[in-house]
A and B are shown apart, each in its own frame.
Chain A
Amino acid sequence: MQEVMLEKAKELLQSGAVDRVLGWKAGEFAYDITPCVFASAQELEAGFVYNDFCGNNLSKYLIKESRKGGKVLAFLKPCDTYSFNQLIKEHRIVRENVLVVGVPCQGMTDGETLKAKGVKGILGIKTEGEDFVINTLYGDRTMAKKDALPERCLSCKSKKHVVYDELLGQEGDKLDSGRFDLVNKLEAMDPEERFAFWRGELSRCIRCNACRNVCPACSCEKCVFDNDASGVAQKAAADSFEENMFHIIRAFHVAGRCTDCGECSRVCPQNIPLHLLNRKFIKDINTLYGDYQAGEDTVSRAPLTNFTEGDAEPSIVTKGGKKA
């Protein structure tokens, strides 16, 4: 696929259809894939990659790239196209300045996940059927994908692109892969256990802001946490409010807008399953207000800017009616 994409990118650059290409390039280590804007065939030849480590969602970069003038080619995986649509809906991306080329994705792993499985000295990766073949300093290692993929890919919601101008490879389908299973599991616990679980997870947060920086929904011109007038921002970490509430407020801010791309959990250096907060909102919205997938289209009204007269009362939570 990398070769096909490279050819496509060079061809479009050559013909003048696009001025720049947004893709991925290798970093210091094989699994350190970085988003990159390529301006020429030479740059592409030198650095462009597309492999099973290219998990980065490129849509957020288009907020800036689509405003720079000229046209940019963006390679988007199915999951990335949802974020792209959502950003179009929020008027964040200038659509006419982007040429979206949809690329297939069979699930992306990352260094952290593999290292956690005991894989060391990673030099490269390739897919062979249902397996990853990982090239390491100690030789090739074959792992079943189901053992080597992060949770977000194991419970992938869709292999279908919701928007593209051109498509490379085979189009996939929307999937029902039980992405709410973990939420259900947490809901089934008693409050003490849940509190203990989240306290354990959130206590590890070092407030590095990686989740916020990578999140395509967290694309505010200025984040409320950096804005004195918002009442939540504090310069020093002395204020326990911001510390304690950061993830809850962040999850609420993206509720109804989060496409469930799972980037927050991928980038978290402390491995906090942040996407489980967002998924809770998604699950509640689906249950209470009807199925809604952010980014599926660019026109539908988001659940939090909408209502029906017969909506459930907040007491549905208190009375536990929702669990039924």
Chain B
Amino acid sequence: MQRIGVFVCWCGSNIAATVDVSAVSEALSHEPGVVFSTNYQYMCSEAGQNLIKDAVREHKLTGVVICSCSPRMHEMTFRKAVASTGLNPYMVEIANIREQCSWIHKDKAAATEKAIILGRAAIAKVHLNAPLTAGQSPVTKRALVIGGGIAGIQTALDIADAGFEVDIVEKQPTIGGKMTQIDKTFPTLDCAACILTPKMVDCAQNEKINIFAYSEVEEVKGFVGNFHVKINKKARYVDTTKCTGCGECTEKCPMKKIPNEFNLGLDNRRAIYIPFAQAVPKVATIDPDHCNMLKNGKCGLCAKVCSAGAIDYKQKDETIEREYGAIVVATGYNPIKLDQYDEFAYSQSPDVVSSLEFERLTNAAGPTGGTLLRPSDGKHPHTLVFVQCVGSRCSQEGKGKSYCSKICCMYTAKHAMLTREKYPDTEVYVFYIDVRSPGKNYDEFYRRAVEDYGVHYVKGMVGKVTPRSDGKLMVQASDLLAGEQMHIEADMVVLAAAIEPDKSARPLATMLTASMDTNDFFTEAHAKLRPVESPTAGIFLSGACQGPKDIPDTVAQAGAAASKVIGLLCKDQLTCNPCVAHADQLMCNGCSSCEKVCPYGAITYEDKEFRMPDRTTAIRRVASVNEAVCQGCGACTVACPSGAMDLKGFSNSQIMAEVDAICKM
């Protein structure tokens, strides 16, 4: 028989105003096994905790029931207090008489009666509690960063800086991500390449960082501290250890008409290519969809010109299996496809471009060498119209995104400003719903565009863009402040497309068992207090995969994610949740039902020898639970037909006892 102490908290008047706390402690003092029962103003206060500790010692309590606020609030507090007396912390049960009683009921008699019943249920459960000890699991001191954009790069650099090994997996042939395609960065207007490429080089040179470019994560197993990951390293058909990145092959390749992804298809590349001059790793890649040699065995020019002998047409995809302690998701974003925005004539005129395309058209390494020219005729544009919120803040079902893409206001101000600075002969219009510029030096930046550079900011939306036969774009818009219709003859229209998570994020989330919101952004463990952690232990979030972000925010979050990873990898052992499943092997049939419903693969089977009642021995297939992997959901306990599987802390008999206590007449 347990010796149980009952502690009823007033929570000031939060509980005491609606529940007669002395009646509760009095009623519960008569329950079987209860040897001490009291009430106190604030059980969670130091004095309250001391009261509990003293009672445990004095009355040699083996079980403690606290009638107080939700266990989600103070279960840990009370467990710690009890543990300090030497009693096992899992001998504590909480009856929630605040959130689930005093706060929702007005009638004091009914609330008091309910509080007593909830107390009885907790007492009934404590009778069946057993001391639990948390297990330990080791931590693999290596992190995996998925995605090699600025978010992934920064996270990797910071983790490596703390002395831990980091692997970056990037699906493109080079790391760098979206930032490599951006020309200048707001609000300081430094060139993106100038600040990004040194970081890319740092990654390549850091001996703690290992880059798997042109690779994708294929399978993730395991759990926090002990992830087992399969990475598919796609065949480049180039031996990266031999390739010097000289680019000779990319000059000689006869397949010249392949849209260049780096310049968003605004110019062409060859079938063997290096994405851009500062690529890391700077090695060539053969595009198997367009290479004649790989498709029909005819050509082989690149192999002939390669003085390093790096070309290998027989190269195969390679699977790499590695262990990690933590995984950081940094899969980033993409602008949405604009094909369905026909009102802006995106698919009808090459002079209607997305903002990212505009970046390439103004970038020195872009298709026009940095001179702003119309894609249709290569002429200098005089009138430019920028349209903001294309697909963002859109309530229309199935068309755009309901959220604000956050970065468009600022980069549009940047585009407008730079255009006016470089080409003072241009007229620049920006159509906006609201201008959102809350960031350090952001509003000042936007105002400079309006005040110093004479950009025409118009509050209103563009209704229609019609390409005219003479090459002009007829822009029909409304100026909401003036209350007039506007008609502009434009040379170029730039659409600030909404951004969305990369398509690879959803299947990745499934592999990681990390949750996502309806827009496919990864969900953080707590919107305010744990913004860089996924609810799944050991998975961290960096950059735009968690929500739209600009570069400063991304870098800040990347650093925060790194610090969380470092905090985890510093530990030699992780303490596991002791409320895990346990198989009674004497009763186990070995039927595999539990194994099938376990989301963590925590259950394995072994053939074990048992002594039978008739003194013979028999070999039986029985389940065993990996306590470090089990998260304690209890799916297996119900799947098990024989009841061999039970959950510590929430056992069948404990829950039944609670049911009985609640239903007792």
The interface of chain A, by Cβ under 8 A from chain B, is: 67, 90-92, 217, 219-224, 227, 229-231, 253-254, 257, 301-302, 304-306
**Is B587 on the interface with A (CB-CB < 8 A)?**
yes
Interface-central residue, A217, A219, A230, A304, by most chain B CB under 10 Å: A230
| Cα A229 to Cα B654 with chains together (Å) | 10
CB distance from A259 to the nearest CB of B (A): 14
List chain A residues, Cβ under 8 A from B618.
67
| Cα A229 to Cα B588 with chains together (Å) | 14
List chain A residues, Cβ under 8 A from B588.
221
Contact A222 B586 (CB under 8 A): yes
List chain B residues, Cβ under 8 A from A304.
593, 639
List chain A residues, Cβ under 8 A from B642.
220-224, 227
Contact B592 A90 (CB under 8 A): yes
- Given contacts A221-B620, A222-B587, 18 further A-B pairs with CB under 8 A are A90-B589, A90-B590, A91-B592, A92-B591, A217-B641, A219-B589, A221-B586, A221-B587, A221-B589, A224-B642, A227-B587, A229-B584, A230-B652, A231-B652, A231-B656, A231-B657, A301-B596, A305-B597
List chain A residues, Cβ under 8 A from B653.
229-231
**Is B335 on the interface with A (CB-CB < 8 A)?**
no
Contact A257 B641 (CB under 8 A): yes
| Cα A217 to Cα B589 with chains together (Å) | 11
**Is B643 on the interface with A (CB-CB < 8 A)?**
yes
CB distance from A39 to the nearest CB of B (A): 18
Interface-central residue, A90, A217, A257, by most chain B CB under 10 Å: A90
| Cα A92 to Cα B597 with chains together (Å) | 19
Contact A230 B586 (CB under 8 A): no
| Cα A254 to Cα B592 with chains together (Å) | 14
Contact B589 A227 (CB under 8 A): no
List chain A residues, Cβ under 8 A from B592.
90-91
Contact B652 A305 (CB under 8 A): no
CB distance from B410 to the nearest CB of A (A): 39
**Is B359 on the interface with A (CB-CB < 8 A)?**
no
| Cα A67 to Cα B618 with chains together (Å) | 8
**Is B374 on the interface with A (CB-CB < 8 A)?**
no
The interface of chain B, by Cβ under 8 A from chain A, is: 584, 586-593, 596-597, 605, 618, 620-621, 639, 641-644, 646, 651-653, 655-657
| Cα A257 to Cα B639 with chains together (Å) | 12
| Cα A301 to Cα B592 with chains together (Å) | 10
Q: List 28 A-B pairs, Cβ < 8 Å.
A: A90-B591, A90-B592, A91-B589, A91-B592, A217-B641, A220-B587, A220-B589, A220-B641, A221-B588, A221-B642, A222-B586, A222-B587, A223-B642, A224-B642, A224-B643, A227-B587, A227-B642, A229-B584, A229-B651, A229-B653, A230-B643, A230-B652, A231-B653, A253-B641, A301-B596, A302-B596, A304-B639, A306-B596
List chain A residues, Cβ under 8 A from B597.
305
List chain B residues, Cβ under 8 A from A305.
593, 596-597, 639
Contact A229 B621 (CB under 8 A): no
Report the tally of A-B residue pairs with Cβ distances under 8 A: 65
CB distance from A83 to the nearest CB of B (A): 14
Residue on A with the closest CB to B656? A231
List chain B residues, Cβ under 8 A from A231.
652-653, 655-657
| Cα A237 to Cα B584 with chains together (Å) | 26
| Cα A231 to Cα B655 with chains together (Å) | 9
| Cα A67 to Cα B652 with chains together (Å) | 32
Contact A91 B652 (CB under 8 A): no
List chain B residues, Cβ under 8 A from A220.
587, 589, 641-642
Residue on B with the closest CB to A253? B641
List chain B residues, Cβ under 8 A from A230.
643, 652-653
Residue on A with the closest CB to B597? A305
| Cα A67 to Cα B644 with chains together (Å) | 21
List chain A residues, Cβ under 8 A from B641.
217, 220, 253-254, 257
| Cα A230 to Cα B618 with chains together (Å) | 24
Contact A229 B652 (CB under 8 A): yes
List chain B residues, Cβ under 8 A from A253.
641
List chain B residues, Cβ under 8 A from A217.
641
CB distance from B385 to the nearest CB of A (A): 44
| Cα A90 to Cα B588 with chains together (Å) | 11
List chain B residues, Cβ under 8 A from A92.
589-591
| Cα A305 to Cα B635 with chains together (Å) | 9
List chain B residues, Cβ under 8 A from A229.
584, 643, 646, 651-653
| Cα A221 to Cα B621 with chains together (Å) | 11
CB distance from B252 to the nearest CB of A (A): 51
CB distance from A84 to the nearest CB of B (A): 15
CB distance from A103 to the nearest CB of B (A): 27
| Cα A227 to Cα B605 with chains together (Å) | 22
CB distance from B396 to the nearest CB of A (A): 25
| Cα A90 to Cα B584 with chains together (Å) | 17
List chain A residues, Cβ under 8 A from B639.
304-305
List chain A residues, Cβ under 8 A from B587.
220-222, 227
CB distance from B593 to the nearest CB of A (A): 5
Contact B586 A91 (CB under 8 A): no
Residue on A with the closest CB to B651? A229
List chain B residues, Cβ under 8 A from A90.
589-593
CB distance from B573 to the nearest CB of A (A): 31
Interface-central residue, A227, A304, A305, by most chain B CB under 10 Å: A305
Residue on B with the closest CB to A225? B643
Residue on B with the closest CB to A224? B643
CB distance from B649 to the nearest CB of A (A): 15
| Cα A306 to Cα B651 with chains together (Å) | 23
CB distance from A238 to the nearest CB of B (A): 14
| Cα A231 to Cα B589 with chains together (Å) | 19
CB distance from B621 to the nearest CB of A (A): 5
| Cα A151 to Cα B443 with chains together (Å) | 82
List chain B residues, Cβ under 8 A from A91.
589-592, 605, 621
List chain B residues, Cβ under 8 A from A223.
642
List chain B residues, Cβ under 8 A from A306.
596
List chain A residues, Cβ under 8 A from B586.
221-222
Residue on A with the closest CB to B657? A231
CB distance from B383 to the nearest CB of A (A): 50
List chain B residues, Cβ under 8 A from A221.
586-589, 620, 642, 644
| Cα A223 to Cα B621 with chains together (Å) | 17
| Cα A5 to Cα B643 with chains together (Å) | 40
CB distance from A240 to the nearest CB of B (A): 13
Residue on A with the closest CB to B639? A305
| Cα A253 to Cα B591 with chains together (Å) | 13
| Cα A230 to Cα B641 with chains together (Å) | 11
| Cα A309 to Cα B605 with chains together (Å) | 28
| Cα A67 to Cα B590 with chains together (Å) | 14
List chain A residues, Cβ under 8 A from B589.
90-92, 219-221
| Cα A306 to Cα B596 with chains together (Å) | 8
| Cα A217 to Cα B642 with chains together (Å) | 11
| Cα A222 to Cα B590 with chains together (Å) | 12
CB distance from B121 to the nearest CB of A (A): 15
Closest 8 CB pairs of A and B: A220-B642, A231-B656, A90-B591, A305-B596, A230-B643, A224-B643, A231-B652, A222-B587
Residue on A with the closest CB to B642? A220
List chain A residues, Cβ under 8 A from B596.
301-302, 305-306
Contact A302 B652 (CB under 8 A): no
| Cα A227 to Cα B527 with chains together (Å) | 46
